[in-house]
């Protein structure tokens, strides 16, 4: 594992452009990005996960980060983290089991980006519920970041505007 690679996590509620932003940033920096494992899980099983599968999803997300980090250059852009899995677990299942809570608390990213829920909400079959839920999850995310004392950069606007906000943030705060 390269010690010069900085993992940048992109967090946000459903349908806020995390995947698009991660992919665009990776292309800009000519590096890797880690897709959200939850999407793979839903596609594979053709259903949303159950409460007892939340820890597996978060663990697989971190495993994919580790697998991609060795091939990354300067930054590795991560589309979500165990923290988001925990927030959704609490919202949908009324709690967070101890292993997931512990994994979510290990927020060891070099930078945290939060996507504002201002893009048009788009249904996505099994995964996405509504703009109302999206707004509630966004509020929970901001509370969780504040409670954990995790600094973040909120990005808004179209893809290009968000990309430029992240680039400016990374270049001014995460120079190597």
Is 90 within the bounds of a domain? Answer: yes
In percent, the amount of the chain with pLDDT more than 90 equals: 82
pLDDT per position as a tens digit, 107-117: 999 999 999 99
On whether the pTM is more than 0.85, the answer is: yes
Is 1 within the bounds of a domain? Answer: no
Contact assessment for residue 159 and residue 20, using Cβ atoms and an 8 Å cutoff: yes
Q: pLDDT-derived band of residue 1, with 50, 70 and 90 as boundaries?
A: very low
CA-closest candidate to residue 58, choices 8, 16, 97, 3: 97
Is 104 within the bounds of a domain? Answer: yes
CA-closest candidate to residue 86, choices 40, 113, 111, 54: 54
CATH number of the structural domain spanning residue 65 = 3.40.50.300
CA-closest candidate to residue 74, choices 34, 26, 106, 107: 26
pLDDT on residue 58: 97
Contact assessment for residue 113 and residue 106, using Cβ atoms and an 8 Å cutoff: no
Q: Which of 45-59, 63-77, 162-176 has the lowest mean pLDDT?
A: 162-176
Is 146 within the bounds of a domain? Answer: yes
pLDDT at 176 over 60: no
d(CA 132, CA 110): 30
pLDDT per position as a tens digit, 138-170: 999 999 999 999 999 999 999 999 999 999 999
pLDDT at 123 over 80: no
Question: Total domain count for the chain?
Answer: 1
- The domain in which residue 56 lies consists of 6-173
Is 133 within the bounds of a domain? Answer: yes
């Amino acid at each position: 594992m390269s010690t010069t690679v900085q993992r940048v996590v992109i967090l946000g509620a459903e349908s806020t452009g995390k995947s698009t932003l991660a992919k665009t940033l990776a292309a800009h920096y000519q590096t890797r990005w880690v897709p959200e494992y939850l999407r793979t899980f839903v596609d594979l099983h053709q259903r949303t996960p159950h409460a007892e599968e939340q820890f597996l999803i978060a663990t697989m997300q971190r495993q994919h980060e580790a697998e991609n980090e060795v091939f990354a250059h300067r930054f590795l852009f991560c589309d979500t983290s165990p923290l988001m899995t925990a927030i959704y677990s609490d919202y949908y299942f009324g709690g967070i089991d101890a292993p997931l809570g512990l994994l979510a608390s290990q927020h060891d990213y070099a930078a945290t980006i939060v996507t504002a829920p201002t893009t048009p909400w788009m249904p996505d079959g099994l995964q996405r519920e509504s703009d109302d839920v999206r707004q509630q999850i966004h509020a929970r995310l901001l509370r969780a970041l504040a409670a954990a004392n995790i600094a973040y950069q909120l990005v808004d606007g179209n893809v290009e505007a968000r990309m430029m906000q992240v680039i400016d943030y990374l270049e001014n705060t995460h120079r190597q």
